[in-house]
Structure 1
Amino acid sequence: MNGKETKQYLIGVDLGTSATKTILVDENGIIVASASCAYPMYQPENGWAEQNPLDWKNAALVTIKEVMKKSGVAAGEVAGIGLSGQMHGLVMLDENNELVDDAIIWCDQRSSSQTKEMLDLLPMEKWMEISANPPIAGWTAAKILWVRENKPEVYQKCRHILLPKDYIRFILTGEFATDVSDASGMQILDVKNRCWSDELLGVLEFDKSLFAKVYESQEITGYLLPEIAAECGLSIRTAVVAGGSDNACAGIGTGIVRQGEAFTSIGTSAVVYSHLDQYTQIPGGGLHLCCCAVPGCWHTMGGPQSAGLSLEWFKDKFCQDLIHKADEEGSSFYNAITKLVEQIPIGSEKLLYLPFLMGERTPHIDPLYRGAFLGLNVVHTQAHLLRAIMEGIAYCLADCNDLLKGQGVHVVSMRACGGGSRSIVWRKIMAALYQCNICTLQQEEGPAYGAAILAGAGTGVFSSIQDTCDRFIKEKDTLAYNPEEAETYQKYHAVYDRMCESLRADFTALANL
């Protein structure tokens, strides 16, 4: 060893919608290397969303190899890998463990009729009792039903059904496994008892053998295959733990591991996430309730599917001038829009945006909802529309936070993560609508960092998940909310909520034309 003390390292892999982010963390919680690799999303029809799992495979392997190369860490020093990933996606393998089709991902809304079939099979009360959530078009069970009904030849070839991150696990280890947090979003898990529901599988006529074994998030599910270890510069003794959904791992990565703690993440979608020490049913399903990556705990989450996606859509379609200007000035597009929207008053001069480009999940559960600008006037400019998008996403998040308050969960300080949290304007809007302080963190790797902590807990490098979070995760800045701004936003928020409800029937009629 040439007198050099051997350290232990962990890898966290976060399989996102737009890219996979991988980090290498040392035993002191310090990120020593990171890498990312992007890939496309395909939308062959209105409301559909698909990705090729081979893109995920390539991204995972490329980024793992890159962090190992950048760091110079020896193969035997990496104790474990944790996996985080986008929820609800449907990956199907045949008897030879080959893909039978592209993956239908979380924001796909094609299976709205299948949710009605699910309610015909069992009443809402039963779905809430077992799966803890109402049937949702974006969740995995409805997707499976859609494939069985619309692509029977694909379904007949299927021998294994995996979630996105669990396909990467299979690539790394050859093992079929999942974790309780990600499995909660499949609509076939008994969420209270943290196991597959034989009753739901039976009602849906799904063969239980199609589904992987369920683990707690920090449990070891396998070790690297020799060929993968050799390719990535790792060891066959490198363990792969169960990991968790992107939101559950973000909970760990932001230190939200105790009752009443919460974070907001704004990425492609946006989420208000709150930790629960005890199982607590959410009436009406306005918030999702899932198993947490902390053993024996649960979490709520809710928020618009088209958060950052709304901003990306508007940027790509209507902001080419800003993109070119930012390139010429050597700055980022997002810095440019921050400067623009700072000049627009609260309420975007009476312009509202409904962030429902891909239907909606919480709190307005309806796959037929669509996006809309309401109150357009000749005074409105590109900057007004950009600010209205940011405000519309925050109104939806505030609806979810209000549901938390209705359950007796009062958050006095909200941690913020994801790309949107870097915007001071967005944080001010959220603070006013939540009526609480917004805190940022010293490190912002959220899900990938949480996955690495889970790997450390599972391999014994770290102690308990909570203690590790207390040691490593520190707040950086705190933004106090402005009571005057909060009062103004309350008035706009009330109009937003009325518009959401009054347009529901019209969105349905529009979809049925």
Structure 2
Amino acid sequence: MAGALFLGLDVGTSGVKAILVREDGEVAASALTPLTLSTPQPGWAEQDPDAWWQATIASIRQLRAEMPDARIVSVGISGQMHSSVFLDRAGEVIRPALLWCDGRTTEQCAEITRRAGGEDRLRDWVRNPALEGFTLPKVLWLRQREPEAYSRLATVLLAKDFIRYRLTGALATEPSDASGTLMYDPANLRWSDDILNAVGVPRALLPEVGGSSEVLGTVTADAARLTGLDAGTPVVGGGADNACGAAGVGVVTPGEAVASWGTSGTVLAPTAQPLVDPGLRAHTFCHVVPGVWYLMGVVLSAAGAFNWYHQQLARELDESGASRRALDAEAASVPPGAEGVTFLPYLQGERTPHRDASARGAFVGLSLAHTRAHLTRAVLEGVCFALRDSVAILQELGLSPHSLLLTGGGAKSPFLQRLQAEVFGLPVGTVNREEGPAYGAALLAAVGAGAFPDMAAAVRSTLTRIPGDTPSPSSHAAYDEAYARFRALYPALKGVAGAN
């Protein structure tokens, strides 16, 4: 396939990214079109799916302008998990999408658990608890709070699947994203009639499920005119952003693990079986590789927490890399534990391990002796401690990785790489590509086009591991007291300042 290029799209919360990847794995071009987030009420988070589509068009056309003669042979799409797209019978958007970080559905989660007969039944049916971020509670919220809109509902799609629908006219999804709806059984690879019947949601609202590297549609003439892609270009199933992000750094086989800093943060470990956390603190989802699942802990505010801190308390610094380095230097000037300052990064609630959409952030331990440098270090440590909670759960369940690959914002800063190694007590590393979920989506497109026989071969041909920091026992132990402080704060503050 000499000269072939594979298009990877990622429909993120902050923007739509598009990249063109050559068969040897080199990124030929990249484009990003930003998106805005709407918060109509505290704890709510919405976006217009048609804004995703317009941003997708803009990103693809930017690539086309940069490489007008590019031969794009296939397309893969990744996207934010759980976010609900409600379509009418004409395929038009009924209302803005409720996003993965939207916390309005606590009442509906309780109803789902009650109707299912308890969490043990949910564990059997869908391998996960009812959480506000998942899709099914959003469907029930629409039915109860906006009945006129629900009466028009014909199809529920996820973010990346909506973009495929606009590109190809095909209503479809794949297992990695379906797993995060609370309507799909990851162990048996099918929509769960048990949960759908329990809550009275028709199966007809849900699309068919294909493979992540399977061609699920081709670019229509109308989409070709809008984007500059060739009509008939195949579009594969793609995958959820976390699964594609893991694939994009080569974490596709059991025994490995990856820590990711996006707006949210995750720790993800592939498994050969659909392992379920008995406490349902971590999620069990399908990977983009057939016959592989993963266990994942989620921190709802990772880079999102740091960006909030930057904008609100370090506003005089611009958004450039230089300002990030300046904040890293501030943090590095303070000893581990930030001399008693602790930050809880629960600015949008929390998933792992607390499963509490109403949890809130806090700085604790401040004195007149503390400076912004202490706050900066406390924010970064707080996110690392929250991710360490997920690492501890994996270890408790027998998934004890010997090292962690880093991706996203946590992989870009040498200081933050070292901080994670010391907090986790594990060697960390990176890979030679840092394009996030869009890169994993492009590799899926390459597999779907026949450039590689499977994802394992694609990873071997395109990615190289780069060793990073290995912590000493003493450097890891330096965080024990601060981590114990962190773990004690959530139960101490529960019910205070909005947390309940």
Does the residue aligned with 2:6 lie in a helix, a strand or coil? strand
1:341 aligns with 2:340: no
1:313-346 C-alpha deviation (Å, 9 max, x unpaired): 11222212223xx77xxx5321221121111111
Equivalent residue for 1:469?
459
Question: Is this contact kept in 1: 2:385–2:423, CA < 8 A?
Answer: yes
Aligned residue for 1:389, secondary structure, equals helix
8 A contact 2:183–2:191 mirrored in 1:
yes
Counterpart in the other structure of 2:4: 8
CA deviation after TM superposition for structure 1 residue 355, in Å? 0.8
**Residue in 2 that maps onto 1:258:** 253
Q: Secondary structure at the match of 2:127?
A: coil
Matched residue of 2:32: which SS? strand
Superposed CA deviations along residues 136-179 of structure 1, whole A, max 9, x for unmatched, are 01111111111111111111111111101111011100111111
Structure 1 residue 359 corresponds to structure 2 residue 352:
no
Mapped contact 1:11–1:80 kept (Cα < 8 A): yes
1:114 to 82, 99, 108: 108
**Matching of residue 315 in structure 1 with residue 315 in structure 2:** no
> Normalization by structure 1: what TM-score?
0.95
What is the CA-CA distance between 1:498 and the residue it aligns to?
Answer: 1.7
Specify every segment of 5 or more residues in structure 1 that has no aligned partner in the other structure, as ranges: none
Q: Distance in 2 between matches of 1:413 and 1:159?
A: 45
Match of 2:475 in 1: 485
Residue 499 of structure 1 is matched in structure 2 by 489
Alignment of 1:124-203 (within 5 A): 124-203=119-198
In the TM superposition, residue 511 of structure 1 has moved relative to its aligned partner by 5.3
Q: Distance in 1 between the 2:233 and 2:113 partners?
A: 44
**Structure 2 matches for 1:179-258, cutoff 5 A?**
179-258=174-253
Amino acid at match of 1:310: A
Supply the AA of the counterpart residue of 1:413.
Answer: S
Q: How far off its partner does 1:234 sit? A: 2.2
In the alignment, what sits opposite 1:95?
89
369, 376, 392: which one aligns with 2:382: 392
Relative to the length of structure 2, the TM-score reads 0.97
The alpha-carbon deviation at position 243 of structure 1 amounts to: 0.4
User: Structure 1 residue 85 and structure 2 residue 75: aligned?
Assistant: no
Question: Which secondary structure state, in structure 1, belongs to the residue aligned with residue 468 of structure 2?
Answer: strand
Matched position secondary structure for 1:421: helix
For residue 73 of structure 1, report the CA deviation from its aligned partner.
3.2
Secondary structure at the residue paired with 1:260?
Answer: coil
Displaced runs of 4+ in structure 1, greater than 6 A?
none
Shift of 1:408: 1.0
Judge conservation of contact 1:252–1:446 (CA < 8 Å) in 2.
no
Once the two structures are TM-superposed, the CA of residue 482 in structure 1 deviates from its matched residue by 2.8
Between the aligned partners of 1:132 and 1:90, the Cα distance in structure 2 is 20
Structure 2 CA distance for aligned equivalents of residues 210 and 279 of structure 1: 26
- After TM superposition, the structure 1 = structure 2 runs for residues 380-459 of structure 1, keeping only pairs within 5 Å, are 380-459=370-449
Shift of 1:57: 0.4
CA separation in 2, counterparts of 1:303 and 1:156?
Answer: 33
Residues 284-327 of structure 1 show CA distances to partners (whole Å, capped at 9, x for unaligned) of: 1111110110011101111310111111111222212223xx77
CA positional deviation for 1:207:
1.1
Contact persistence 2:274–2:285 (CA under 8 A): no
Of the candidates 38, 42, 59, which is equivalent to residue 42 of structure 1?
38
State the distance in 1 between where 2:2 and 2:230 align. Answer: 15
Q: Distance in 1 between matches of 2:179 and 2:2?
A: 38
Deviations 1:12-71 (A, max 9, x none): 001111011110011221110110000100111110111111211011111112212212
Specify the SS of the correspondent of 2:268. Answer: strand
1:376 aligned residue: 366
DSSP 3-state at the match of 2:316: helix
User: Separation in 2 of the partners of 1:268 and 1:378?
Assistant: 31
Would you say the 8 A contact 2:268–2:297 is kept in 1?
A: yes
Residue among 250, 264, 272 paired with 1:269: 264
CA distance in 1, matches of 2:353, 2:438: 27
Aligned residue for 2:317, secondary structure, equals helix
Alignment partner, residue 54 of structure 2: 58
Matched, 1:70 2:44: no
**Secondary structure of the corresponding residue to residue 258 of structure 2:** strand
Residue number in structure 1 paired with 2:278: 283
Q: How many residues align?
A: 499
Is the CA contact 1:79–1:237 (under 8 Å) kept in the aligned structure 2? Answer: no
Aligned to 1:20: 16
More deviation, 63-72/342-351: 63-72
Hey, what's the Cα distance between the residues in 2 that align with 1:254 and 1:36? 20
Q: Could you tell me how far 1:384 is from its partner in structure 2? A: 1.2
SS in 1 for 2:356: coil
Q: Deviations over 1:232-275 (max 9, x none)?
A: 33222310001000000011101001111011110100000111
> What is the identity, as a one-letter code, of the residue corresponding to 1:197?
S
Give the Cα–Cα distance (whole angstroms) in 2 for the partners of residues 73 and 308 of structure 1: 36
- Alpha-carbon distance in 2 for matches of 1:462, 1:133: 33
Given that residues 8 and 461 in structure 1 are in contact (C-alpha distance below 8 angstroms), is that contact kept between their aligned partners in structure 2?
Answer: no
Local SS of the residue matching 1:127: helix
CA distances 1:180-206 after superposition (whole Å, capped 9, x unpaired): 001111001011011101111111111
Pairwise CA distance, 1:477: 4.0
Residues 50-95 of structure 1 show CA distances to partners (whole Å, capped at 9, x for unaligned) of 1111211011111112212212334xx3221000000010111112
8 A Cα contact 2:8 2:18, kept in partner: yes
Return 5+ residue gaps in structure 2 as ranges.
none
Identity percentage of aligned residues: 36
Per-residue deviation, 1:505: 4.0
Contact 2:341 2:365 (C-alpha < 8 Å) held by counterparts: yes
Tell me, in whole angstroms, the C-alpha distance in 2 between the residues paired with 1:263 and 1:83.
Answer: 20
How far residue 503 of structure 1 moved from its aligned partner, in angstroms, is 2.4
Cα pair 2:49 2:96 within 8 Å, conserved: yes
* SS class of match (1:322): coil
- Cα distance in 1 for partners of 2:215, 2:461 equals 23
Aligned equivalents of 1:25, 1:95: Cα separation in 2: 36
The answer to whether the 8 A contact 2:360-2:499 is kept is no
Tell me if structure 2 keeps the 8 A contact 1:415–1:438. Answer: yes
Q: 1-side partners of 2:496 and 2:121: how far apart? A: 30
- What's the C-alpha RMSD, in Å, of the aligned pairs? 1.5
Checking the alignment, whether the CA contact within 8 Å between 1:100 and 1:154 is kept in structure 2 is yes
